[in-house]
Structure 1
Amino acid sequence: MVDKIDVKILEVLKNNSRLSFAEIGRMINLSPSSVRERIQKLEDSQIILGYNVNLNYKLLEYDLEAFILVKVFHGKLTSFLNVLNHIEEIVEAHRIIGNQNVHLKVLLKNQIHLQELIDRLMAFGDTQTLLVLSKVK
């Protein structure tokens, strides 16, 4: 069971998961040992699944971010889903309901890189690409 203090801890961790137990404790008026115990409980109960690094992909020379919707050809869904984990450009993949079966978030170096990825994906189905102009939230 998650209480109000746990929710406060989760909010702090969502903003900066590198803070020490003491820093988190000062922010929510709790001792460092209590913060540690609560975080351990949240990890053990799998409410906290892990900690991530938020990268600036532009500085890593990934200049394009896009969403690709795929309407997978009949009979190809299983093989397509198996291939997804081996395509490094895909940072997120979701099965969806609607005209398409799969929604992909991809990072690419340039337009040629995007074209090459789309060509690979088209072996599995029809694609629709949405290029990200900027992140607003």
Structure 2
Amino acid sequence: MVDAIDIELIRFLKDNSRLSFADLGRKINLSPSAVRDRVQKMEDLGIIQKYGITIDNKKLGYDLEAFILLKIFPGQLKHILEIIKDFPEVKEAHRITGSQNIHLKVVLKNQIALQKLLDQLMVFGDTNTFLILSEI
């Protein structure tokens, strides 16, 4: 399905999805049209599902990032799965195995905003919060 060249293309696209086919081709010694064909094939197969951007949240005034683990109260899981996408602070949400049900990555302006979010989430279950100090 994919070969080493495709894996290399994915690596470069993960680092900078705005690289042109010509730039990608120069990095892996392929013509721009060959790169385009390979990228299109991976898109068609669903290997590449979307392209994105990375935001510096601190420059937007969001100084606090945290992981929140939720252990959902019985009968609340379906409801929280439906509404979690409506919380603007939630940047990533995953249903997980283990003693908790949900893993969230949140971005907030400050501790007061974190407290308000936790107050909203505690209606659905117990929370366990981890502040993110830095990205490695």
Alignment gaps of 5+ in structure 2: none
Give, in angstroms, the shift of residue 98 of structure 1: 1.4
Secondary structure of the 1:55 match is: coil
* SS of residue paired to 1:91: strand
How many residues are treated as equivalent by the alignment?
136
Structure 2 distance, partners of 1:15, 1:83, is 32
Post-superposition shift, 1:74? 0.4
Give the ranges of 4+ consecutive aligned residues of structure 1 lying more than 6 Å apart after TM superposition.
none
Q: What corresponds to 2:92 in structure 1?
A: 92
CA distances 1:49-80 after superposition (whole Å, capped 9, x unpaired): 01001010000001000000111000110001
1:25 aligns with 2:28: no
Task: Compute the displacement of 1:4 (Å).
Answer: 1.2
Q: C-alpha separation between the residues in 1 aligned to 2:7 and 2:99?
A: 37
Rounded to whole Å, the distance in 1 between the matches of 2:104 and 2:5 is 35
Aligned-residue sequence identity (percent) comes to 58
Query: Which residue of structure 1 aligns with residue 49 of structure 2?
Result: 49
Paired with 1:50 and 1:97, the residues of 2 have a C-alpha distance of 26
TM-score normalized by the length of structure 1: 0.97
Query: 1:1-137 counterparts in 2 under 5 A?
Result: 1-136=1-136
- One-letter identity of the residue aligned with 1:65: E
Deviation at 1:84, TM superposition (A): 0.3
Deviations 1:13-48 (A, max 9, x none): 111111111110011000000000110001000000
Cα displacement (A) at 1:94: 0.9
